[in-house]
Every structure is written in structure tokens, then in C-alpha cells.
Amino acid sequence: MPEMSAPKVLNYASHIDDNTLAQATETASMPFVHPHVALMPDAHLGMGSAIGTVIPTIDAVIPAAVGVDIGCGMIAVQTTLRHKDIAHLELSSLRSSIESAIPLSPGNYNRSVDRYDFTAPRLEVLRDLAERTGVDLAHSPKWPEQLGSLGGGNHFIELCLDEGDGVWLFLHSGSRGVGNKIAKRHIAIAQRLCKQWWISLPNPDLAYLPTGTPEFTKYLRDLAWAQRFAFENRAEMMDRFVRAVEHWAAVDADSLESDRINCHHNYTVQERHAGKDVWLTRKGAIAAHDGVRGVIPGSMGTRSYVVRGKGDRGGLCSAPHGAGRRFSRKEARKRFTADDLAARMVGIEYRHGDQWVDEIPDAYKDIDVVMRDAQSLVEIEHTLRQILNVKGT
């Protein structure tokens, strides 16, 4: 059950450290937070404000709370395949196809934008949105080449099986370099303005933009574009993933996909909570309004979940976005080796090597504990286990 761990901090996490609680308390102390900050079950230390924090604000937004990967999130596709349909096929062959179709790692973009017939319409939608809303993308001239690229860190692509041995495609990514530049630009603007206005902040990363200012209006326009880019980026990669599976499994393109869920977990949107219209920032959290479906991944080597929201008002109609880290990347590399990772990934096709040691499941919270803490926030529709994993470096 959630508890008020500090003034205006409602905590859903049964396992949480003091530093994360201190960050949430700091965020909740901002005068425009209403009615409270909600800490999700996977909450852990972040930059400025904790990851796994839901922050409702009146007449202001905090750019650093959204973070530098605007619109980062998950997409999942349920297929008509069963495990028996693919059990005889080499997973390494599919992995090679995925790695050929989708550029991996930061700075690794598409060589061209005309390889797939579904790419051009997405680029046109994004160009039109930028033009209509006055979004200046001069800082990122190669943004079209970034569409359909994965990135690094904890971004990944997976082939999964559900509780009935149905085959699912899973993918985690965000707004890539263009979103990062948009975020950093507005974080710097907010910090400069708060300093210029002599506003005292508990942390520079809590610098905010108030409504009624041109800087606020500009940020919301850029933010909306970056969120749309992230959404389309996941859809683009998923379409490429689907096509790779079609060829690999020799199935008809029109009959493979039966369901699709695409959701953000780093974003800001206007919602109504506790009787007031607020700007709701979900930093490492998904929307969980009553009946809204979402995707909650575990770490590589552990279970993931397809869920349906319960509309919990205390949780600000939100839910966790994953397992949440126990150890920083640096600490994980001190504690674990490539051999430890290989032992945890038995039975899963993945790229071996020590560059992914910091993503070992042991560096994350127990996803089963996270989901137990989230019982009032979501109900579980499907439980998935991965049989193939591709990570960005």
C-alpha cells in the first residue's frame, strides 16, 4: 500500500533508498506542485528528480524533470505466431536481420531514408508538424536519418513469448539525438531564467518555465514535436522488426500482427488531478488511466508485462515504467562480469560481451516486487519472457 513518505510525497515503492526519497521530497517542495508527487514502485535516483516520479505542476513545467530523452518509451506487438511455429528457426539469424535493419548505438544513424516504403510518410508528418508549430530543427540537420535508430544505454529490442507461448515483439527507445538537443537547450534556458529572476531553487535541475512566458510556449511546442518523434521512431523500428520476422518465419505480411501498444514514459501532458488542470510530468512512468493499456519491461533476462490501467487517483493515473535500477552503471561494472551476465542469459539469444554488464538483471530491482507494489495501479494482461535480446551499446 502507498504511504506518505514525506510532505506531498506518496510512495508506492516497498524498496527505496534514502537518496531517492530525498530527491522526491525536494521536487515536492516546489510551490506549484499539486496535489503531490507520486513515487512509482521502480523509483530510483535520477538527475534533478528521481526516475519513477510523477510530478503534477500548476502553471509551470520543469524541463529537466522530463529529462534528456524526451518521449522515451515502449512499443509491443502481439503476433499470430506461436512458439511452435518458430522453434525450428535459428534465433541468431533473426538477430542478424534486426541488427542490419535497425542502426544500434548512439550516433549510429541510417545511411539513407528510402530503404523502407513506410519511412517517407512518417518523415512528412514530422516535417509538417515542425513547420506548423514553428519548431526550429536547425540544431539537428540529420534528424531524418535518426528516425528508426535504437540508441544505447538500456534501449533494447526483444522477441518474447507470453504465458500461452504466443510470440511478441518488444522495443524500448526514445527521441534520439534530436530530442536530447531539444531537452538540453530548454533546461539551460530554464536555469538561466531562474537565475536571472533571482529564484532560489533546492536544485538547479528543478529550474522551471512559467506559463505566460514565450520560453514556456516554445518549450511546449518543441516538447510536443520531440514526443511525436519518439512515438514515430518506435513505430518505424517496430515496422522494420515486423518485416524481419516476416522474412525469417516466412509468413504473410498481412497476417502477422494482431495488436500494437506504443506508450511514452518520459513526457509531459496536460491532465486534471485533484480538481485542477496540471502539467503532469511522468519521468520514468507510464499512463495508467482506467482501461489504458501499457507496457512494463523487466531487465534483460527477466519477465516483462503488458498491463491495463486502473485509474488510481493517488498514483496520478500512472504506473512504473520498468524494474528500476538498484546499482548505478559504474557500480554494476564493479560487481559483475560478462560471465555473470552469460549465466543469467542462458536460453536467450543475445550479443555476448562485457559492454552490456551494466544491464545485468542483478543491477535492477526485482520486477516481481515492482509489479506487486503496482497492484493498485494496473492489472496484468500478459506476462512475457524473452528468447532474443538486442541492446544498443
Residues that constitute the known binding site for GMP: 154-158, 265-266, 297-300, 304, 321-324, 391
Q: Record the cell numbers describing residue 133, joined without a space.
A: 508549430
| φ, ψ (nearest 5 deg) of residue 314 | -60, -40
List residues forming the annotated binding site: 69, 154-158, 172, 265-266, 297-300, 304, 321-324, 391
Q: How far is CA 227 from CA 29, 138, 336, in A?
A: 27, 18, 35
Q: Which residue has the cell 518485416?
A: 243
The angle at the Cα of 109, spanning 125 to 65, to the nearest 5 degrees, equals: 70
Measure the CA dihedral 64/68/70/75, to 10°: -130
Point out the residues that are catalytic. 321
Mapped onto helix, strand or coil, the DSSP state of residue 132 is: helix
Q: Which residue has the cell 513469448?
A: 161
Inter-residue contact 323 to 332 (CB < 8 Å) = no
Phi, psi dihedrals of residue 357, rounded to the nearest 5°: -60, -35
- A 10 A CB-CB count for 253 gives 11
Could you tell me which residues are annotated as the binding site for Mn(2+)? 69, 155, 172, 265
